[in-house]
Chains A and B, each alone.
Chain A
Amino acid sequence: MAAGATIGSVLIVGGGTAGWMTAVALSHKLRHARVEVTLVESEAIGTVGVGEATVPPIRAFNAALGLDEAAFMRPTHATYKLGIEFRDWARRGDRYFHPFGPFGEPIGGVPFHQHWLAAGALAGAFDDYSLAARMAHHGRFAAPGPASPYGYAYQFDAAGYAAYLRGVAEARGVVRVEGRIVDVVRGAGDDLAAVVTDDGRRLAADLFVDCSGFRGLLIAEALGAGWDDWRHWLPCDRAWAMPTERTGPPAPYTRATALDAGWAWRIPLTHRTGNGHVFASDFLSEDAARDSLIALLDAPALAEPRLLRFAAGKRRRQWIGNTVAIGLSAGFLEPLESTSIHLAQVAIERLLDLFPTGDGDPADAAEFDRVMANEYERVRDLIILHYAATERDDTPFFRHVRTMALPDSLAEKLALFRARGVVMPYRHGLFAEPSWLAVYLGQRVRPAGHDPRATGDAAVLAQMRAAIEAEALGMPRHEEVLAR
């Protein structure tokens, strides 16, 4: 297209969570732009929909698109999520919480965790200083105010979220086309011209968004984007998923329990509990992994176990010509920190920042790739930290991950924390200081030294801890809030 040309049509290929998130976002943000948004999907192709737990930025995403919380929580059987409980990670029997919110408050201008480090054993558990962690522990929830020291996200049925978004998108003018893609028609250079469906329809567009999942129908199969393989840092490559009946009130948090060659998730929804076992097939057979998941279940199964295969990594290029990859077509990180939906969200936001002007400048694509690589790598590093910083040597899997070479970007962060308990800051990236602290300290990384200014006054810490506990206990129970 010529300079000054504009994008008149967008075709989203694939209708899972990423596809319908993209559809709602583009139809809303481009509502003045007379851009035709079409989504093509096939009923015959299943979606992955494992991403049942989310992180707090999803609330900003929903709010920016005018989505009402109550309206989407009910059909998606959503519960509130205050963070993730990690069990058996650094040592068997360990528990720690990665909360959506900070730990304690600075004292005398010195970060709270430095005082906690200075106080040593007198200070109790680090989690005791997180309101979100204590709320989660007691099964409490209340919507935070603007100054509250915690945030929240949701645990929901991802397929239900996609279905809800589809309703919103279609009401806002997005056209849904049923069909399986059988051919991709190239245009000039790296551009695509159209895709062809199994019933012979030719769907042309100015911009293509590949939300086709792992296979990367456009970005990889048609355009050969290349792949950054991260399996040497994240060897888990399979998951068994299996829902069970709900037992008791749903917890306002997700649980991730380390097993012998991977970990198990437990995500409570209002109508069922999502369970799964993420494992490394180099260390555990599929059959054994399925059996160990079934052995963990504490309630009757609602479906047969389902196997998912994946590989950690990302496309080397996520935007080529007039095709942008969003969701699993762009990259995959195991759901240990519930980041799948978030990475799709960030890609959508960056696509809108850099929405093509119509003449397809490769600089837009290069910038998108650079920014997204940063996002993926920073999330990746926090996930690797759970494996790298462990004392477990009771299985071949843990002996492997605790001794593997780390990416430089993580090695330097870890070195600084080990030396002085300082989290390396950055401007762009999901996880900020409290998240890094939760995982470093939860994984028993103890800095060699702490801030010399920190007093670790036990009485002050005890008072802070007591106030947090009282505040948590003063909140309503999670299930009561859900029932409202």
Chain B
Amino acid sequence: MRIAVAGDGIAAHLAALMLARVASVVSVPVGAGGHGLGPVGETVLGTPAWMEGEVAAAIGDLPGAVPALGIAFAGWSAEPWFLPYGDVGAPLDDVPFAQLAARVRAEGTPVRASDFSLAAMAAQAGRFAPRSADPRSPLSTLRPGAIYPAAALAGRLADMAARAGVERAAPLAAPMGSDDRLTLTNGTQLSADLFVDASGGAAGIAAAGWVSWRDWLPCCRVASRRIADAGGPAAYPLHAATPSGWQATVALGGTRVETRYTAAGEGEPYENGRRTKTWTGRRVAIGAAAGVIEPSLGHALQHAHDAVLRLIALLPAAGSDGGAEATEYHRLTAQQYDRARDAAVALWLTAGRPAAAPSTELARKLALHRRRGYLPLEDGECLSRDEWAVLLDGQGVRQERPDPLAAALPPPAVAAHLARLRERLVATVAAMPPLAGGGR
């Protein structure tokens, strides 16, 4: 099978590299710039799920990359908070930690999720250690991610793709038309069994309609810049709400990257939303060509990666018209984007910012959480139940009633459980080395 992958940045090289294991891949430069991941700016976040994939392992150490212990949020609610890459607390008698915390808080004792998360505590202390495989070690509760300089990641993936046998074609001369072939600047026509749009849509391969999510997520301009900074790296990006949107700040050590997302300002335009079809005929969209969600929760790279994995698992059988494969690919891809959108919308909405009424799924989640701290999980969800709890808790959303099972636990048992957890985490953080290159 021959697959043409169009695009210039991370998404294209990633797709080409992954697909090269299963097909003969030709990479087609588009010259549109960017990374095919939507408005990521000059850095890209690798989530814990991305890190567990084969590509992340094969990338290994990338010069300039920094490990990530989570994402810090500021200005979205009364207090700053931290979405940790790792466990938050531990259950007691099968009662989830978030319910224990809600109950203790309702009794008047302030409890912050970040005081019970090793990842959050280490981030704050400027310390870092890799995850331990020993389940008895508190270090086993970490699930670190990575912050990559986007250009360096693209370069590494391009090298890996070339070594994996990806052929490089002449650049695309014009966006793809209605014929199933690409016209290249050297005057040749390129045919393939599948055409993958990893260009953010500029290649014209992904041509289905676009559902705009602007009513939920109004930012539409992104501007990213590097600034010399004497400080050391930080093992987390800071996502701060601004009057007209939000800003991601990443300290890479020696430089700082600031990426601003605004509803009306300077920078490259983008629009949150997704295609009504992400695979039609021979044309498959991945990354921003399939859907765009500004990375307030940092899933852009993971979404592109998951889409390629999904495509590989659904490569059309010999003699198939690809119809069933395309339908399933789109169903799962749309599901993942829609649920990730809901998470981004939850952040925006609970910050008290104007947005359209949430989707049925998000409305249900918010209502049940607000009432009693229960968080139903849907198919395709990118956040875990614990991550949802931290997000809503951080945003100051308080459940109206404690969970009856949590409320019934004997107070001394809960207090002792929390004290024991805290004590172990404090001791563990104290023994962790500083993040290489210094803390913030």
Contacts and interface: CB of A to CB of B under 8 A. Distances in A.
Interface of A: 3-4, 6-7, 29-30, 32-35, 64, 109, 111, 352-359, 361, 363-364, 367, 371, 415-416, 418-422, 424-428, 447-453
A373 B70 CA distance: 36
Q: Would you call the interface of chain A mostly helix, strand, loop, or mixed?
A: loop
B376 A367 contact: yes
B410 A419 contact: no
Interface stretch (B158-166, B247-255, B321-329, B423-431): B321-329
B372 A357 contact: yes
A421 B314 CA distance: 10
B318 A424 contact: no
B403 A355 contact: yes
Interface stretch (B211-219, B284-292, B377-385): B377-385
B367 A363 contact: yes
Contacts of A29: 94, 405
Contact of B317 (A32, A353, A364, A447): A447
A416 B328 CA distance: 8
A30 B405 contact: yes
B404 A420 contact: no
Contacts of A354: 372, 374
A169 B405 CA distance: 19
Nearest to A4: B401
B325 A420 contact: yes
Nearest to B413: A32
Given A32-B409, A415-B324, A449 B371 contact: no
B316 interface: yes
A13 B99 CA distance: 30
Nearest to B376: A367
B22 interface: yes
A367 B320 contact: no
B1 interface: yes
B173 interface: no
A34 B313 CA distance: 52
B187 interface: no
Interface in B83-132: 93-94
Contacts of A450: 317
A353 B374 contact: yes
Given A354-B372, A367-B374, 15 more contacts: A30-B404, A33-B404, A33-B407, A111-B313, A355-B403, A357-B372, A357-B404, A361-B371, A364-B368, A419-B325, A420-B320, A421-B317, A422-B314, A427-B379, A452-B22
A367 B404 CA distance: 17
Contacts of B403: 355
A367 B324 contact: no
Contacts of B209: none
Nearest to A452: B315
Contacts of B225: none
Q: Quick one: which of B93, B312, B401, B410 has the most chain A CB within 10 A?
A: B401
Interface string B392-433: 000000001101110111100000000000000000000000
Contacts of B378: 427
A451 B328 contact: no
Nearest to B409: A32
Interface in B5-48: 21-22
A420 B316 CA distance: 7
Nearest to A412: B327
B63 interface: no
